[in-house]
Amino acid sequence: MTQPIEDYALIGDLMTSGLVGRDGSIDWLCLPRFDSAACFASLLGDEENGHWRIAPAAAPDSARCTRRGYVDGTLVLESFWETEDGASFKVIDFMPQRDTAPDLMRIVEGLTGESAVSSTVRLRFDYGHVVPWVRRGGNREGDRVAVAGPDAAWLRSEPPVHTWGEDMSTRSEFTVAAGERVAFVLTWHPSHEPRPEPLDPYAALEQSLADWREWTGRCTYEGPYRDAVIRSLITLKALTYAPTGGIAAAATTSLPEELGGIRNWDYRYCWLRDSTLTLGSLLATGYLEEARAWRAWLLRAVAGDPADLQIMYGIGGERRIPESELPWLKGYAASAPVRVGNAAVDQLQLDVYGEVLDSLYVARSAGLPAEWHSWKIQLALLDFLEQNWHRPDEGLWEVRGPRRHFTHSKVMAWVAADRAVRTLELNPKLPGDVHRWRAMREAVHSDVCENAYDAERRTFTQYYGSRELDAATLLIPRVGFLPPDDPRVIGTVDAVREELGRSGLVRRYSTEGLSVDGLPGDEGAFLACSFWLTDALYLTGREEEARELFERLLSVRNDVGLLAEEYDPVSGRQLGNFPQAFSHVGLVNTALTLGGGSLAAGQV
């Protein structure tokens, strides 16, 4: 039975991550990177596609832990279980920040009485497609090594284990008494290399707790939503690929925007448009080193011919992200196809130029040391945008329909010119023609106000000549295109809320009839857009309504504080890839707006 998306919790080591269900099963784990093939892929198929469950021995497959939570200020997960005879134990799941190889560690600790516990591991490499050969290895009774093609994984188990040929699984049945602990460690490495040096799981646990507490202790936000902000910042940190500083949009691929539908995409890559909001969140909460690393990743990624700027890159800065389908996986809740890679990488999305310029302006204004080559890159991007901002594009929502003159893309072209003007006004010794960028800024502004505004309905529309609306227009006051008290802004906020609202939250755009995205089916309320609505309400003077909506959005989080991409208010289910960085960035920035914090310079 498919677990709800919100039943999962995230663990990770800043290079990859896994999802642990409330039933004690790890159903998703990609090794060695976020975008590597999964060795546990039952999330998108069934148990035969790989998983690892630890639960009471007598518990049915449908059983769920009694309660669970992260150790405060960390990404160390504790799941508590009670057995039929009244005994209890907990499972501690974590991935220590790696030295050489990725390690997944599970420690079972007895709490009361004596608990009978079962562990079942089904390793399946290549997204659940390849069954490895499993044999005994090493010097311990509980050591097993699984090998198939380029992949090898070692399972170190303190309890005795048995490899079962009939269902290709490795099992342990054991008891744990109050105060006792036993550990399991799964370690991946390339099959042609020797086994990595094993780590002590108990020492690794203490080090992981210390590492995370040290990191969260650096947070400077002290407002009323601190706990929620800390959890979202931890999630953003967990989605960061430490070697490069790139931040994956989500930990998963193909979790559906509609159950049973085809809107299933791979989000394990880095989107440029996330940069502005992500940088703002990090800088405003005291994480200068992370912001510096993200800016460095950004500059490496966008270097080169401005005409070749992509909307997304691999977590290492890779340009090629070819999209394909995995037909052997039936999809989450039968939502097929399952896709890896993302064809949207080849789209023209002009808004990203504005987002890049804005993010670098934010970084400079916040005090990150300027870099000469960074300004040269920005001038090249501006030159390209000046010649191309008038073109139609696919827009920020990566529609797979025809190109259009999307309002948000034009607004972000204005942002690019505006940030260039501000930069030159503050730094007159920098090279650049401030008069030229002022002229561009004025031209774009006039074009948007003339062609994107529906005076009859008092709202900006999704694209020129359209009657459709777009939640991205809620960002118009935030980026400074128009002041919050402008009647056109207030009318847009009201119209988006009315026409795109869904039980108080908002969708990105309408999917009814001949949808702009060229795809059949529907989707849930988009959580990042709902945070944008909260900000817009606050900026337009409706503070009480903004706080009420923010509290509603906080209640949408799952029991461990995580958010997916979307939410269905009718069924109460989270939808889309999980956890979603964009949603958590929205949460942090809205908390800063409402709760006494301050956004980084450049973010209105």
Could you give phi then psi for residue 425, rounded to 5 degrees?
Answer: -65, -35
Two structure tokens written together for 292: 């510096």
Strands (E), 149-235: 151-157, 162-164, 169-177, 181-190
| pLDDT above 80: residue 296 | yes
Q: What integer is the mean pLDDT of 385-390? A: 96
- Can you tell me whether residue 511 is helix, strand or coil? coil
What pLDDT shows up at residue 142? Answer: 77
Two structure tokens written together for 469: 């609306």
Number of other CB atoms surrounding residue 164 within 10 Å: 13
- DSSP line for 379-434: HHHHHHHHHHTTS-B-TTTT-SS--B-BHHHHHHHHHHHHHHHHHHHH-TTS-S-H
Q: What integer is the mean pLDDT of 460-473? A: 96
- Residues ≥6 apart with Cβ < 8 Å to 146: 123, 132, 133, 134, 152, 153, 154, 155
Query: Using CA atoms, how far apart are residues 305 and 561, in angstroms rounded to an integer?
Result: 41
Query: Using CA atoms, how far apart are residues 192 and 126, in angstroms rounded to an integer?
Result: 17
Two structure tokens written together for 216: 């969260």
Q: Please write the tens of the pLDDT for every residue from 538-588.
A: 999 999 999 999 999 999 999 999 999 999 999 999 999 999 999 999 999
What pLDDT shows up at residue 600? Answer: 40
Q: What integer is the mean pLDDT of 384-403? A: 92
Q: What integer is the mean pLDDT of 526-537? A: 97
What pLDDT shows up at residue 116? Answer: 97
User: What mean pLDDT is reported for the chain?
Assistant: 93
Location of structure tokens 């080591």: 13
What pLDDT shows up at residue 604? Answer: 38
Two structure tokens written together for 603: 């973010």
* Residues 592 and 546 sit within 8 Å (Cβ to Cβ): no
Beta bridge partners of 145: 135, 154
Q: What integer is the mean pLDDT of 471-499? A: 97
What pLDDT shows up at residue 603? Answer: 44
* CA-derived radius of gyration, the chain: 25
| pLDDT above 90: residue 117 | yes
| pLDDT above 60: residue 597 | no
Q: What integer is the mean pLDDT of 331-335? A: 96
Share of the chain above pLDDT 90, in %: 79
List, in order of start, the domains of the chain with CATH numbers: 5-194 (2.70.98.40), 218-398+405-425+433-594 (1.50.10.10)
DSSP class of residue 250 equals B
- Residues ≥6 apart with Cβ < 8 Å to 524: 257, 258, 502, 507, 566, 567, 568, 569, 573, 575, 576
| pLDDT above 90: residue 390 | yes
Cis-peptide into 579, omega within 30 deg: yes
Q: What integer is the mean pLDDT of 322-349? A: 95
Q: Which of 339-353, 438-452, 482-496 has the lowest mean pLDDT?
A: 339-353
| pLDDT above 50: residue 602 | no
Let me know the angle formed at the C-alpha of 317 by 316 and 321, rounded to the nearest 5 degrees.
95
DSSP class of residue 7 equals G
Structure pTM?
Answer: 0.95
| pLDDT above 60: residue 309 | yes
Query: Using CA atoms, how far apart are residues 179 and 595, in angstroms rounded to an integer?
Result: 42
